[in-house]
Amino acid sequence: MGRRVTINGKDGSFGAYVADGKSKTGPAIVVIQEIFGVNQVMRDITDSLAEEGYTAVCPDLFWRIQPGIEITDKTEAEWEKAFSYFKTFNVDTGVEDIASTIAWVRGEGHSKVGAVGYCLGGLLAFLTATRTDADAAVGYYGVGIDNYLGEAEKAKKPVLLHVAEEDGFVSKDSQARMESGLTAPNFQLYSYPGRDHAFAREGGQHYHKGDAGTANKRTLDFFAKHLK
């Protein structure tokens, strides 16, 4: 369904997976990867957003480490690789690549551009809201957001965050700091009791169909309100 494009960034060119929506000038969404690269899960999410009418673009944010990284969450060896990529990854340059992706999308004629990210991408979605001109941002179970709460005031557009209450990578203290530090009217947080990290990753160990469906509907309603 999708196609591959090359985006010229601040430090070089990188690839992206694009699923075209109904309109060449309609709203678009940048899909921000997990620690497994632009794999089938990310492409499926990108395709599903296109089915909702959005042009969706998933950039390869690990290109500086190795272009085209694509693994799953099914084996211990792959998890080890994913965490090694996570430790090597530079958050600041990753956000710069997202900004370049947003600029590319706007250059293609899309005036409204949102962003949605998962896991590592959940943190990057938050930083996309604070550091870029994205029109709206959604983060799923972002890891480390509480370390960047000092930037929250820079987010002028709407932000929606999905928080897994039993997230093995985000402590209850971190969650409490997020709740107390993200009180501006443009921030909206939903907590999911009993859910662990990546509860919306279909096929994943902690996938929960009911709450994933609830979170995804909230995301689509949020984008319909702020992008369309």
Could you tell me what percent of the chain has a pLDDT over 70? 100
What is the pTM assigned to this prediction?
A: 0.98
How much is the mean pLDDT over the chain? 97
Q: Given 167, 196, 206, 211, which residue is catalytic?
A: 167
Does residue 58 surpass a pLDDT of 90? yes
**pLDDT at position 228, please?**
86
Residue 1 has pLDDT above 80, yes or no: no
Q: What percent of the chain has pLDDT over 90?
A: 98
Contacts of 99 (CB under 8 A, 6+ apart): 128, 131, 132, 133
- Per-residue model confidence as pLDDT tens digits over 64-118: 999 999 999 999 999 999 999 999 999 999 999 999 999 999 999 998 999 999 9
Per-residue pLDDT reduced to its tens digit, 169-186: 999 999 999 999 999 999
Supply the CATH classification number for the domain 3-227.
3.40.50.1820
Domain boundaries in the chain? 3-227
Q: Does residue 167 have an active-site annotation?
A: yes
211 is catalytic: no
How far apart are alpha carbons 138 and 160 in whole angstroms?
A: 5
- Write the pLDDT tens digit of every residue in 194-217: 999 999 999 999 999 999 999 999
Question: What are the residues whose beta carbons fall under 8 Å from the beta carbon of 14, sequence distance 6 or more?
Answer: 6, 7, 59, 60, 61, 63, 67, 97
Euclidean distance between CA atoms 15 and 2, whole angstroms: 13
User: Which residue out of 197, 206, 208, 226 is catalytically annotated?
Assistant: 197
